[in-house]
Amino acid sequence: MTTTAKGGAKGRRSASRGKISREAIVAAALEVSDSSAGLDAVTVRSLATKLGTGTMTLYGYFRSKDEILDAMADHVMSGIELPPVEDETPEQALRAVAQAFVKLMTEHPSVSWLLSSRVTRSHASLKAAMEDILQRFVNTGIPPETAVRCYGLLIQFALGFAAYQAPRQWGAASGEDGAELRRQQQHYWAGLPATEFPLVVALAPQLVLLPTEDQFDWGVDLLVEVLTRALERETQRS
C-alpha cells in the first residue's frame, strides 16, 4: 500500500512536470499580472505554486523573473490583431492600428507597464507589432519615414492611455458595474469644496469620462485628422 501511494504521488508530479512549458509559464504570468495583483505578484515562487510545480522546474525554462517579463511582453505584442483590409486609406489604417494597440493593452493591463520597462526583441513580436504595421502604412501610400513617425505617435498615445486607464477602474468597467463606479467617482469630485475646486466640481460629469473609450476615440480622431493633414501637405510638396 505504501509503495502504491508513493507511486501515485510520483505519477502526479510527473504529470505536472509534463504540462509545464514556456508557453504555460507565460500564460500563467499574464493571468497573474492582468489581475489586480499586477506585475509585483509575478514571481518564480508564485508561478510555481500556480502551476503546481517546483521553482527549480521553472528555472529550467527561465533564468530569472526578468526573462519571464521579457517573454510576456513578446508574447502579447506578437498577438496584436489587425485583420487585412483591401484598398485601405491612410486614415483607415491609422485608426485601425490605434484601435488594435489599445485593445491589446486593455485586454492585458500589465502590457503598459511591461512596455514601459523593457524592449521586445523576439522576431514574432517585431514582425506582428512593428514590421507588419509599418508595411500596412506604406501600402496605403504613407512615405516610409513618415510611417515610422505615425507608428511612434500611435503606440505612444495608446500606451499612455492604457497606463492612465489601468488604475481607474470606472473607465474600463462596463454595464451596471461601470455605471456605478463612474457615479461614485463623479459624486466624489462633485462633493469637493466648490470654492477651492470650482472647475472640478462643475465638470465632474466630463472628468469621469477621461479614462473611457470615448476619450480615447476622441483623441484618435484628433490624431488622425492632424496626421492626415500632414500627409496631404507632404504630398503637395513632393
Answer whether 74's CB lies under 8 Å from 125's CB. yes
What 3-state class would DSSP assign to 113?
Answer: helix
pTM as predicted:
0.81
In Å, how far are 127, 163, 167, 185, 223 from 79, measured between CA atoms? 10, 19, 24, 34, 24
Answer whether 216's CB lies under 8 Å from 161's CB. yes
Answer whether 35's CB lies under 8 Å from 50's CB. no
Which distant-in-sequence residues (6+ apart) come within 8 Å of 199 by Cβ?
Answer: none
Answer whether 25's CB lies under 8 Å from 43's CB. no
Answer whether 25's CB lies under 8 Å from 47's CB. yes
Three cell numbers, residue 220: 484618435
User: Alpha-carbon distance 12 to 22, whole Å?
Assistant: 20
Q: What is the pLDDT of residues 122-150, one digit of tens each?
A: 899 999 999 999 999 999 999 999 999 99
pLDDT score, position 156: 93
- Neighbour-count burial of 148, counting CB atoms closer than 10 A to its CB (0-12 exposed, 13-18 middle, 19+ buried): middle
The pair phi, psi for residue 168, each rounded to 5°, is -105, 80
5 pLDDT band, cuts 50/70/90, is very low
Across residues 36-63, what is the average pLDDT? 87
Answer whether 69's CB lies under 8 Å from 26's CB. no
User: Alpha-carbon distance 185 to 161, whole Å?
Assistant: 19
16 pLDDT band, cuts 50/70/90, is very low
State in Å, rounded, how far the first CA of the chain is from the last one.
85
pLDDT score, position 123: 92
How does the average pLDDT of the chain come out, rounded? 87
User: Alpha-carbon distance 136 to 40, whole Å?
Assistant: 36
User: Alpha-carbon distance 98 to 154, whole Å?
Assistant: 6
Q: What is the pLDDT of residues 139-182, one digit of tens each?
A: 999 999 999 999 999 999 999 998 899 889 899 888 898 999 99
In Å, how far are 111, 129, 166, 181, 187 from 102, measured between CA atoms? 10, 12, 12, 21, 28
CATH code reported for the domain at 2-63: 1.10.10
